[in-house]
Chain A
Amino acid sequence: MNEVILYKETPIPGRWKQFWGKFRRNKGALSGFIFLCFMVLMAVFSPLIAPFDPAEQFTEYLRTPPAWYENGINHFIFGTDDLGRDLLSRVIHGSRLSLGLSATVVIIAASLGILLGAIAGLLRGTLEFIILRFMDVILAIPSLLLAIVIVAIMGPGLPNAVYAVAIVLIPHFVRIVRAAIKEEMSKDYVIAARLDGASPIRLFTHSIFPNILPPLIIQLTLAFSTALVDIAALGFLGLGAQPPNPEWGTILSQSRDFIQLAPWTVTIPGLAILLTVMSINLMGDGLRDALDPKDHRE
């Protein structure tokens, strides 16, 4: 065919480009994402960044206020606590614990949740019923209360706190995965794959799983922020990380008695928790909008 090509085909952006284009336009989500990246970098490189060792006590500088106070000194930018430890270093090292533990919790909860959800979604009948009712029982108890009960049974300490929060988070994953599988199963392309002769496992890994990723990613971010808050809460109650571990919740609980004398010792770790959770939620919100398949504006 020797036609003169008067008109070019218009390129259509790829999936990632489309996603990033949409995500980038959401300013809140973008700033949340940037802040989170900053926090993660801080957690990874904390020994290099932190000016002092988190356990090092400067006995002549007990309860020094932050640098911007009248009697603060530039040496300790965020001030020191009642034992003379540098608050900045503690918060930086704490980020490693707080973010790392939350990530562990989410990984445990997500893998168990996806497994149970996939079983419930793919194999119907009694097994599905048992899994779902068990999840309903977990959901019926307020999450933090359940975590406290579990820690109370297993004894306080970091590993137990991680298991407790993970168990509390599992039902959400199960429900989301099961609902998404149910929805995908009735779609034409899954039927078409079945007609191609695909086995149930191949059907799940090749056809269904990639398509339930968007709701799953959103649930992951939500679970991450919940895990962060719950672990801090357990630490605050003395059931999670034990002092002198610089976990944010633990720092808070230790400084609670000096809230009048040294308010910064409470405010600064509190702010760290608040900002991190907020940035995760903002990012989750942006992800939800950007991954929503119903929205076809590029």
Chain B
Amino acid sequence: MHSPALRVDHLCKNYSLSGWRNRKKVIAAIDDISFQLFPGQTLSVVGESGSGKSSLARQLVGIEQPTSGKIFINEKNLSEESKKEQAILFRQIRMVFQNPFSSLNPHSRIGRTLEEPLKINTSLSSKERKDIVNQTLQQVGLRPEHTNRFPHMFSGGQQQRIAIARALILEPKVIVADEPLSALDVSVQAQILNLLMALQENLGVSYVFISHDLGVVEHISDQVLVMYRGQVMEYGDIEQIFDAPKHPYTRKLLSSTPTYRHTVKVSKVTPSAEFKQRAKSANGCVFASRCPYAQQKCLDEQPEQHNFDGQKVKCHWPLIE
């Protein structure tokens, strides 16, 4: 077995609230996340808005500094390396943003935008850089003569191709894609999804794929990480999560998606208003206030992570059939 391209150990990120009254309060956007991602594989992160999935992406690519925890890229601990080494490691993990248009500099021809990372990070000659740019453009299905155009001259789908080309240009091991499809029209989404899969097969790159669309997630993932309020509710292989979800939250997500409505059973009971009120102040499971199976224990104790053949479930009462 290869060593993982990306390994995350107990990653946490706290944001402190602004304002003098809340100065001492912190919010855990990411709370104790661990996973590993092997070369050529895809890990999807799913969850509702506010689950911390975008925040996770920001820690991984280095936009923000995690509060605690370790990120290993090619088994090298990011936080223990020197600044210079860190910069080299971050070349291995690149990001594709949700909105392709806003992620491209509107006043810069795309040839220049694509050359920029090479200019900063390598000592290649201008000719060599141009060759790499042209080659990468062809990889994402665009033509070399497109380098002279500005971003606004492209359609949304083409812009996302350019954004992918920029992520690819330093030949990274891992690409973090934060909802790369949701700003695109339905008929264009499939093109981009196909492109991402073709690139993975040809280049062996790994994806951390952040999405709310479970259909897409099932289609492309090898592993799935289900997040709720910054915590991992369930983590496992695609078969485990979609065929035998064991966390009530995973079931709830699946049953809410029209296409999966009939594949999973989940109780429709919601906790009573009084129970919800108590759950707010309690220190137990974060999902207790919405969980159909919640009991007193869920309010009192943080659930531990149960392990079923590698499928990790953070729940007091995992659903086993």
Which residues in A have some Cβ–Cβ distance to B below 8 Å? Answer: 12, 14-15, 187-189, 191-198, 202, 206-207, 210-211, 213, 293
Contacts A196-B120, A197-B87, A198-B120; A191 near B63 (Cβ below 8 A): yes
- Offer 18 A-B interface pairs, CB within 8 angstroms, sorted by A: A14-B153, A187-B102, A188-B99, A189-B105, A189-B106, A192-B97, A192-B163, A192-B166, A195-B62, A195-B94, A197-B90, A197-B120, A202-B120, A206-B108, A210-B105, A210-B107, A211-B107, A213-B107
B61 within 8 A of A: yes
Residue in contact with B95 in the complex, picked from A14, A15, A195, A293, CB distance below 8 Å:
A195
Which residue, of A12, A202, A213, has the highest number of chain B Cβ atoms within 10 A? A12
Q: Is the CB of B95 within 8 A of A207?
A: no
Which chain A residues lie closer than 8 Å to B61 at the CB level? 195
Q: Shortest Cβ distance from B23 into chain A, in angstroms?
A: 18
Greatest chain B CB density within 10 A among A194, A195, A206, A293 is at A195
The CA of A99 and the CA of B90, in the complex, are separated in Å by 52
Top-7 shortest CB links A-B: A210-B107, A188-B103, A196-B117, A188-B102, A12-B153, A197-B120, A189-B105
Task: Decide: B117 and A211 in contact? CB cutoff 8 A.
Answer: no
Given A189-B104, A210-B107, A211-B105, is A194 in contact with B63 using a C-beta cutoff of 8 Å? yes
Contact across chains for B97 and A188 when beta carbons are under 8 A apart: yes
Q: Which of A192, A195, A202, A207 has the most CB of B within 10 A?
A: A192
Among B105, B106, B116: residue with most chain A CB under 10 A = B105
Q: In the assembled complex, which residues on chain A have CB atoms less than 8 Å from the CB atom of B107? A: 15, 210-211, 213
Say if the beta carbon of B256 comes within 8 Å of chain A.
no
B 45-68 contacts with A by CB, 8 A: 61-63
Q: Is B36 an interface residue (CB 8 A)?
A: no
Chain B residues at the A interface, C-beta cutoff of 8 Å: 61-63, 87, 90-91, 94-95, 97-99, 102-108, 116-117, 120-121, 150, 152-153, 163, 166
Shortest distance from the beta carbon of B154 to any chain A beta carbon, whole Å? 9
- Structural contact, B103 and A195, CB atoms closer than 8 A: no
Knowing A207-B105, A211-B106, the reply to whether A198 touches B99 (Cβ < 8 A) is: no
Residues in chain A near residue B152, CB distance under 8 A: 12, 15
Q: Which residues of chain A are within 8 angstroms of B95 by Cβ–Cβ distance?
A: 192, 195
Query: A39 to B69, alpha carbons, bound, how many Å?
Result: 66
- Residue picked from B90, B120, B163, most chain A C-beta under 10 Å: B120
Enumerate chain A residues within 8 angstroms of B104, measured Cβ to Cβ.
Answer: 189, 192
- Given A188-B99, A198-B120: A193 and B87 within 8 A (CB)? no
Q: How far is the CA of A189 from the CA of B102 in the complex (A)?
A: 6
| B86 nearest CB across to chain A (Å) | 10
Least CB distance from B39 to A in Å reads: 21
Distance A14 CA – B150 CA, assembled complex (angstroms):
8
Residue of chain A at shortest CB distance from B61? A195
Docked Cα-Cα span, A195 to B105, in Å, equals 13
Which B residues are in CB contact (< 8 Å) with A213?
Answer: 107
| B62 x A193 contact (CB < 8 A) | no
Write out the residue numbers on chain B whose beta carbons fall within 8 Å of the beta carbon of A192.
95, 97, 103-104, 163, 166
